[in-house]
Structures are given as structure tokens and as C-alpha cells.
Structure 1
Amino acid sequence: MTKTKVLTGITTTGIPHLGNYVGAIKPAIEESWRDDIQSYYFMADYHAMVKGRDPKRIHESGMHNAATWLALGLDTDRATFYRQSDIPEIMELNWILSCMTAKGLMNRAHAYKAAVQQNVADEQNDPDFGITMGLFSYPVLMAADILIFNAHKVPVGQDQVQHLEMARDIAKRMNHNYKTRFVLPEAVVGEETAILNGLDGRKMSKSYDNTIPLFVPEKKLLKLIRKIKTNSLEPGEPKDPSTCTLLQIFSAFANEEEVLAKKAQYEAGAGWGDLKNELFEYVNDKLKGPRERYNELLQDPAFIEAELRKGAEKARAEAAPFLQQVRQAVGIKGFV
């Protein structure tokens, strides 16, 4: 059976929250169990340097994210789970691709254009003020992440679709000029991917400071759930479940029958206090086992390191011979 290669980068600039779990981690782990899928998951620590200048934060975030995926049941024998910085072939390919990437293409990258526009709005004399080459060439490194394994599909948010288009453009230029055989990757934007609202009703995001960390202690989880914004309807008054963050979070963990029963409670006029307490009990029960495993893993960084090293060994066994083919194609080879 020919397997479809699916590659997912894991940002290492913060602690995973419920929105990350529902929108990315849970569906990715479930997909990794499919026999027709070959999954690659990597800690994008070099990418983290584009926005993060705190070495301790980048390091700790990587460990917390790795522990999260392992605690939630990722099978590292089935999937290839590695740290980006452990695969030197990615960075070498990054340079090779850079030499075939038009500057004009990078000029059109959304993140770079937004930074320039902000400088203009701030009346900076230099429109490139404060913009690093890391930010400017970020899409090339992303292309190297994908092309080194010839991934067929890459799950991304809508804001990353442009980067996949750039990766395809770069791969086409390489294939045309050097007769390489890069697969042209496809962006997978899940239209049905769950997006959770945060404490204030907006999309759950670290940028809004409205997140619920995935493995926060029980008492803190209860406190955060009780802070979720609701309307002023009193107990006994019917409530619209379709506009409620509480039901949205509940639905992310519950089955269809449980969701229908919970909607009936809303329509019957259940009080917000009761609904919040019930949500805590339900979610806490679902997360209790993974939370315990997560905390155990954080106390055993050697195990996390061993899992990532195992993944790196598997990844390099694939990346190294392919990079050798690319080097031969571009003329980087011995004389005899």
C-alpha cells in the first residue's frame, strides 16, 4: 500500500491549550492511526526563533509540547516524531532552496508585507526596520521542512496556505532546473476543524490572553472555566446553546448523544453556575489520565529526549539519502 505522507509542524513558543488540542493535536493523533497515512510531527524550534528571543522559553516550550503529544497517546513507533534542530539535512536543504528562490516571491509573503506596512504606518525611515532575515526567509525553511520528506499533505491554517503555495513554486523551480523529483505538497485546510472560543468569547489564542492551558491543575481549571463569559440570563430561562462557549468546549470532548442531552439542559433553563461546574467535571475527567502522564513525563525529560532522538534517527534515515540525491543534482559531489 502506498501511504500518503502527512507532515505537521508543532510551534514551540508557548504551552498547549484546549484550542490547540481540539483544533490540531487530537485530529492529528487520530489520523496517525490510519494505515494509509505516514505521519511526521516535529518540534519547530528553529521556526520559534523568528518570534521568540527567550532561549529558556523556547527550550521549555519544546519540552512541554513534546510531553503533551506523548501524554495524549501519540505512538512514536507508527509516527515519526522529531525535533527540527536534530535534522541537519533540513538546514542544508534550506540553503539549497534559498539559492533557487526568487526574492520577489519572498517580498510577497504576508508576514513580511505586514511588518513593512507596520513600519510605514509608524513612519519609520527604513521600511525594513527591525525585520530579520529569519522572518523574511521563513517560507523557505518551511519549504525545506516539507520537501526533505516529500510530504504529500500539510495541515495548515488559512494564514499558512500561501507558504504551501510558495513551497510548491520552489519545488517546481528545482525540478525544472535540476531535474530533481520533489513532490508538490498540498495544503490541507480543515473546513470542519473545531475552533474553540476562549474566556472572553473570542477565538482561544495566546495573543488574546484568553486561553485555558490543556493540563492546568484541577483547581486552576475550575477557576478558569468559571471565568468563561456568559450572558445575564437567569436560571429557569431558556438559553441558546449555539452561541455558548461552554457548550462549544463540551462538544469538543463529548459524543453526539451527550451533546444532545446537554442542549436539552440549555433549553430547559439550566443555570450558568451549574453548567460551568458540570463542564469542569466532564472535561477534568477526560483530561485526568493524560494530565497525570504529562506531569510524569515532565519529571522524566530523559524519556522525552529518547523519544525525540528515536524519531530523529528514523527521520534522518530517510532525509540523508534524499539530500544526497539533491546534492548530486545541483553539482555538490566528489571528483572521483
Structure 2
Amino acid sequence: MDKAIILTGITTTGTPHLGNYVGAIRPAIAASKNQNAKPFYFLADYHSLIKCQEPERVKRSSLEIAATWLALGLDTDNAVFYRQSDVPEILELTWMLTCVTAKGLMNRAHAYKAAVADNEQGGEQDPDKGITMGLFSYPILMAADILMFNANKVPVGRDQVQHIEMARDIAGRFNHIYGEYFALPEAVLDENGATLSGLDGRKMSKSYNNTIPLFEPENKLKKLINKIKTNSLEPGEPKETEGCTLFSIYQSFATADEVAQIRQRYAEGIGWGEMKRILFEHINGQIAPARERYDALMEKPDHIEEQLQEGAKKARAISSPFIRELRKAVGINRITS
């Protein structure tokens, strides 16, 4: 039986934080060890240019993300781990797909519609003001990422499901014109996936500046946890776990028995200072070994680059012959061939 091809991209615009870890990185690392699947994980550095025009930030983020995944135990023997920009066939495929994609389909993309709505609400005469072609057409680049390796399953958040549906539409159109070259990908939603709250109680996100970086040194991790917003209930007063940022983060790192014990402590009126100490010790105890590996990797960027180049070789062993096949399909090949 053929192995299922699973593909995940990580945009290189920030430092991995606890929310990234429990929501995406941890399950992906586990999936990388699944011998019944062929996982593809890539640094989506071309995607990062859509929203970030800070070269050093993109470069630094690429290093931090790669080091994070390797430090956490990504199985690079089973998984293909590469940088998007090291596989030029992806951009060539993007143009081929662009030429069969209806503009009307792109008009319906959520990100584009939201940007237009913001302009209209702001009273702009031009609804497209400030909207780049990168933002408008990036679902096509995402489709190329997926279709280049004929991924069967693409784990995504609910807000990304539309892009997988667009990739299916684009693949179907190409297949209709040129023949059956692409499998139709399926979105994989983890309904039980954790979404952590940040320092201010909102969803942990770099856009809110409320994140806790995954591999902060111990002293900084403790300081950040101590900054987590809580209510004014005193020690001894019973507290609700529902809606509590401290509890939700702890729950994502604890066993069922540990969660039950802390839930009882809440009912008994645990103090916020005590809960923050418990949370710090629990998280720090789990990530300390990986943090040590991460720090070592950050001192050896050449080793990280070697890993990415090895992944690119594996990826291009697939993409290079496939793009040659696609060129022939669309009529771009040598006249004498």
C-alpha cells in the first residue's frame, strides 16, 4: 500500500512559541515518526515575503524554526525537511497553475476579502489600496507547495481550509485541461488541537505581542509566566478553571491525572503565585532537554544548513522529474524531443 503523503509549511516570520508548539509542532514531530506515512515539512520563506519585508527577520526566523524542529526530535530519515526556496520547481509550478486559475476564485479568498473590507471601512476610495499581488495570489503558491508533491493530506487550522479547497479546484482545472497529473488534497482538521491563550488572555499570537517563546532561558520563562494576566481572587478563594490562561497552558503540558489534581487545587483556592510557580516548573521540566539541544544547534548553523540541503535533495529528486513531465504536458519542451 502506498504511504499517505502529508505536507505542512511553517511561515518564517517569527520565533516559535508555546502556542505553536502545542498546536502544530508537537503533533507534527510525532507524525514525522509514522512509518506508514511520508511527511513533508518545509520552511515557507517565500510565503513570509507577503507580510514581512524585513530580510534579517526572515533569515533569523528560518534559523530558529529549523533549530526548533530538529531540537524537538524531527525524524529527518522518514520526513522530508526542506526550505521552500531551495526547490525552484515550486515557483515554476506556481506560474503554470496561475495560468489555469480563475481570477474570480482568487477574489473569494478570505485574506483578500478581509483586506478589501478594511479599506472600505476605512473610507478608502480604492478598495485594493496597499494590497499586493503576493497577498492576492498566495493561495496559488500554497497550491503549488501541495501539488508539487501530490500531498494527500494537509493538516491546517480551520481558517486555512478554504486554501485546500482552492488547491483542489486548481488541480482539477489543470487535470481537465492537460490530463490527470495531480491528486486532490484533503484538509486535515484536528478538532482537539490546543489553542493557547497568551499573556493578555487573547489567543497567543505574535501579532498580539503576547507570546511566550518556546526556548526562552529559565529566568526569562519564569518572568513571562509571572506576567500572565489573572483575576483578583485571593488565595483560599475557589477559582474557575474555565477561561483561565494559567490552567489552559498547564493542561496542554500535563497528564489527565495532573490536570485533575490541579483542578482540585483550584476548587480549594490555590493562589495565583503558587499556580504560576507550578506552571513554570512543569513547562521548564519538559522543555529543558530540548532547549539545551536548541542552544547547541543555534551555535552550529552549518549543521542546520546541511540538514536543510539534504532535505532539498530529497524534495528535488521528486520535483525535478515531475516538473519536466509537467512542461511536456503544457507544451514547454525541446522542439526535437
Matched with 2:292 is 292
Question: What SS is found at the alignment partner of 1:326?
Answer: helix
C-alpha RMSD of the superposition: 1.1
The two structures have a TM-score, normalised by structure 1, of 0.98
Does residue 189 in structure 1 map to residue 152 in structure 2? no
Matched with 1:18 is 18
Q: Which letter does structure 2 place at the counterpart of 1:121?
A: Q
Shift, 1:99, TM fit: 0.6
Aligned-partner Cα distance in 1 for 2:115–2:264: 48
Structure 2: gaps of 5 or more residues: none
Matched with 1:307 is 307
Q: Which letter does structure 2 place at the counterpart of 1:65?
A: I
Matched with 1:48 is 48
Aligned-partner Cα distance in 1 for 2:239–2:126: 53
Matched with 1:147 is 147
Matched with 1:5 is 5
CA contact (8 A) 2:64 2:298 kept: yes
1:81-130 residue CA offsets vs partner (Å, 9 max, x unmatched): 00000001100000100111111111111111122222222232322221
Question: What SS is found at the alignment partner of 1:313?
Answer: helix
Aligned-partner Cα distance in 1 for 2:100–2:155: 25
The two structures have a TM-score, normalised by structure 2, of 0.97
Matched with 1:203 is 203
Does residue 328 in structure 1 map to residue 328 in structure 2? yes
Matched with 1:126 is 126
Aligned-partner Cα distance in 2 for 1:105–1:269: 54
Aligned-partner Cα distance in 2 for 1:198–1:113: 27
Matched with 2:73 is 73
Shift, 1:242, TM fit: 2.9
User: What percent of counterpart residues are identical?
Assistant: 62
Aligned-partner Cα distance in 2 for 1:300–1:247: 36
Q: Which letter does structure 2 place at the counterpart of 1:264?
A: Q
Aligned-partner Cα distance in 2 for 1:11–1:79: 18
Aligned-partner Cα distance in 1 for 2:45–2:230: 37
Moved more, 28-37 or 59-68: 28-37
CA contact (8 A) 1:43 1:82 kept: yes
Question: What SS is found at the alignment partner of 2:242?
Answer: helix
Question: What SS is found at the alignment partner of 1:265?
Answer: helix
Aligned-partner Cα distance in 2 for 1:107–1:319: 29
CA contact (8 A) 1:180 1:329 kept: no
Question: What SS is found at the alignment partner of 1:201?
Answer: coil
Does residue 159 in structure 1 map to residue 152 in structure 2? no
Shift, 1:180, TM fit: 3.0
Moved more, 197-206 or 121-130: 121-130
Shift, 1:305, TM fit: 0.3
Q: Which runs of 4+ in 1 moved over 4 A?
A: none
Matched with 1:238 is 238
Question: What SS is found at the alignment partner of 2:50?
Answer: helix
Structure 1: gaps of 5 or more residues: none
Matched with 1:249 is 249
CA contact (8 A) 1:180 1:326 kept: no
How many pairs align?
Answer: 336
1:237-267 residue CA offsets vs partner (Å, 9 max, x unmatched): 2222233211211111111121112212212
CA contact (8 A) 1:19 1:195 kept: yes
CA contact (8 A) 2:35 2:78 kept: no
Question: What SS is found at the alignment partner of 1:101?
Answer: coil
Shift, 1:163, TM fit: 0.9
Question: What SS is found at the alignment partner of 1:196?
Answer: coil
Q: Which letter does structure 1 place at the counterpart of 2:51?
A: K
1:151-203 residue CA offsets vs partner (Å, 9 max, x unmatched): 00111111111111110000000111100320000111211110011111111
Q: Which letter does structure 2 place at the counterpart of 1:167?
A: A
Q: Which letter does structure 2 place at the counterpart of 1:297?
A: L
Question: What SS is found at the alignment partner of 1:39?
Answer: strand
Aligned-partner Cα distance in 2 for 1:174–1:243: 47
Aligned-partner Cα distance in 1 for 2:146–2:241: 40
Q: Which letter does structure 1 place at the counterpart of 2:160?
A: Q
CA contact (8 A) 1:7 1:39 kept: yes
Q: Which letter does structure 2 place at the counterpart of 1:221?
A: L
